[in-house]
Amino acid sequence: QGNKSFSLRKWTVLLFVKRLCKMPEGPDLHLASCYINKVCSGVVFSGAVVKSEVSKNSEVPFASEAYTICSESRGKEIKLTLSPIKEEKVKENVKRGKQQNTMASNALTLVFRFGMSGHFRMTSEDEIPKHAHLRFYTKEKPRRVLSFVDIRRFGSWEVNGSWQPDRGPCVMFEYEQFRANVLNNLSNKAFEKPICEVLLNQKYFNGIGNYLRAEILFRLKIPPFTQGRAAIELSVKSQENSEHSLSKKVKVKMENPDILELCHSVPLEVVNFAGDYYEREPLEYYSVFSKWLQCYYVAGMKTLRDSNGRTIWFQGEAGPMAPKGAKVPKRKYLIQKQETEENDAKSLVVKPKIKKTKKSLVQASPQKSTKSVVVKKKKQSKELPSVRTGQSMEETISAQRGRRRVVSHDSAVKKQQTPTRKQKVVKEEVKPKIPRTVDPMRRTRNSKAKLTLLNTVDSALK
């Protein structure tokens, strides 16, 4: 029973992970960059970069006998640098036990954008993931492979690319530039949209995605469909206009950060708690991640689609700019937060929504269920025979069975006697045709009338 409950638990969480479909955002790309630098430190790669046949991205024209890989991230982008190595073994250095490595000047850069499900994995050559669309092979034996895995194939890479110029400074590691970029451009038309849509604009909020915007707005209790400019100005000015000393202002900022500060601190929270779990199985990573969530995919929260078709999770009122008649997206698997008796930590419970059928409605509503029971009892009471005095229950049941048999036999005989529709049609066709009876006096009358007509015509002609 314990093993069954564990497998059931694992199955439900795996279903939740599948349904969650968390898009990689700024923290996830930074964790991926740290993972690449960790597994590739001191490792020499060799050969060509192999692309899968299924991928529609461009080929990587790179091949080297020995090269290294290093990575860096900025917002929602990762840059990999492939640096060839020239191993020049000089006799003097060999005698001293040293090896002089000089980096070649023809290094190649690859800029990755993860799309919906992109990530990197280092595995052995026999355990390459199914959806590995770009592979880098090591020189060691047995060989290992660094793979760019993308199940949904929305991810992309650009050969010899650079950071996209349309993207603003990183919200995590370029905070001062990010804050200045937003405050200096508040008069732009982009900030006239709802705040939930403004936060996804990578020109100003590079690294913020769907789950981060939900968590930021939930902590500040800002309705998602309020104007972006008004929400940012109100949040920032409420702290700047406070009449306190410098130390008190710092304390107020720490306790009540504005929206731009949360855009910086909330992604760093994900980096801090999920750093160790990124290298483990996805099940462990998502279980820890789901405990951290307060609003996104949590049961009891409201959902609406914005003008871009993205789902926003929130609590309370939607705001004055909420779309009218918007359809609420249905979610089958949600996170339920429960407090355990041992420790008041929040545990992950995945609860599927039950489809509304007639049976479930009867079971759910107590009034309907009582009515249905009463009706069933009435029907049963009509069918049951009346128990006569001095007659046992077994005799009454046998008598009832005999009646049913007689009725069924009679109905079968009636069915045989009553002709079907096809039989009726056949009988009508087989019936002999009866000749029509003609009145003999009728013929004489007609002949007399013809004679009189002829006589009148002849007289007229004469």
Alpha helices by DSSP H, listed for 384-439, are 393-417, 421-430
How far apart are alpha carbons 375 and 378 in whole angstroms? 5
Q: Is 330 exposed, middle or buried (0-12, 13-18, 19+ CB in 10 A)?
A: exposed
Confirm if 202 and 167 have CB atoms less than 8 A apart.
yes
Radius of gyration for the alpha carbons in the chain, expressed in angstroms and rounded: 41
Helix or strand or coil: residue 147?
strand
Q: For helices 175-184 and 259-274, what crossing angle results, to 10°?
A: 150
Identity (one letter) of the amino acid at 163? W
How far apart are alpha carbons 19 and 335 in whole angstroms? 11
Q: Which of 22, 27, 51, 76 is catalytic?
A: 76
Instruction: Measure the N-to-C terminal CA separation of the chain; round to a whole number of Å.
Output: 123
Which residues, in sequence order, are bridge partners of residue 414?
A: none
Q: Which of 22, 24, 84, 224 is catalytic?
A: 24
129 is catalytic: no
Q: Which of 25, 77, 174, 215 is catalytic?
A: 25
Q: Is 280 exposed, middle or buried (0-12, 13-18, 19+ CB in 10 A)?
A: exposed
395 is catalytic: no
24 is catalytic: yes
CA angle 165, 272, 176 (to 5 degrees): 40
Give catalytic residues, as residue numbers: 24-25, 76
